[in-house]
Amino acid sequence: CSIHIADRPDMLELAAKSGCRLLSIGIETTNRKSLLTVAKDFNHPEKYTEQLNRIRKHGIDISTEMMIGLDGDDESTFQDIYDFVMDNRIALPRVHILTPVPGTQLYREMEAEDRLLTDNLGKYSGSNVIHRPKNIAPEVLQDNYWKLYEQLYKPGRIFKRLSASPKNQNAFLKAFLTGANLHYRSHIKRRITPGII
């Protein structure tokens, strides 16, 4: 779902009335420069907190999809993502390493720039660095990717993030989100990228 649903109170009201209690939102990144590299200049990171709060006010919790390894990213991006997730108490954050999929414009551009590190499609999972980022060494991106996930999914941090869930959230959804976070934690320990359950 787009973060811009937050700018449509009529849609949020309809979503809540229909029983929607959790939205997966493609934030992509909090880095303005990186948003430009993926043609998402219509997203405004400075508005994310306000938009997420508007969604929660309708009794809908938040899951996010974010990317790291974009051309505008540098080593500070890991801390930026961590701070964003924790400050906004994202119930179920997912982060993926930028993966230029064969057949896409991004893949062709990276191939032309000799930035692809492998053509082994088994590595194109969103959890492996398969390209040479402009501002982060590939090994630093790979190591810090897992460190970021480990930090976000420590038990105390899971419960801190879930503490912002809408007050009217039912027991089933609370149990689901707690279970999903613990399930993701077990995947992270085994270096399996959390995905949609």
Q: Which of 154-158, 174-178, 191-195 has the lowest mean pLDDT?
A: 191-195
Q: How many CB atoms lie within 10 A of CB 82?
A: 18
Domain boundaries, the chain: 3-97+152-189
Mean pLDDT of 61-81: 95
Domain boundaries 3-97+152-189, corresponding CATH code = 3.30.750
Degrees, nearest 5: CA angle 32-123-126: 30
Span 3-53, pLDDT tens digits:
999 999 999 999 999 999 999 999 989 988 888 777 677 878 899 999 999
Is the torsion defined by CA of 151, 129, 197, 65 positive or negative? Answer: positive
The residue with tokens 């270096």 is 191
Instruction: Give tens-digit pLDDT for 137-167.
Output: 999 999 999 999 999 999 999 999 999 888 8
Q: What is the per-residue pLDDT across 78-95, written as a single tens digit (0 to 9) for each?
A: 999 999 999 999 999 999
Task: Please give the average per-residue pLDDT across 116-139, as a whole number.
Answer: 95
Token pair listed for 90: 């994202």
**Residue ranges in 41-123 assigned as alpha helix (H):** 48-56, 76-87, 105-112
pTM of the complete model: 0.93
Q: Is the pLDDT at 181 greater than 60, yes or no? A: yes
Gap between the terminal Cα atoms of the chain: 17
Q: What is the mean pLDDT of residues 101-120?
A: 94
What's the pLDDT score for residue 196? 56
**Cα–Cα–Cα angle for 89, 95, 98, nearest 5°?**
150
Can you read off the two tokens belonging to residue 53?
């709060």
- Cα Rg, the chain, nearest whole Å: 17
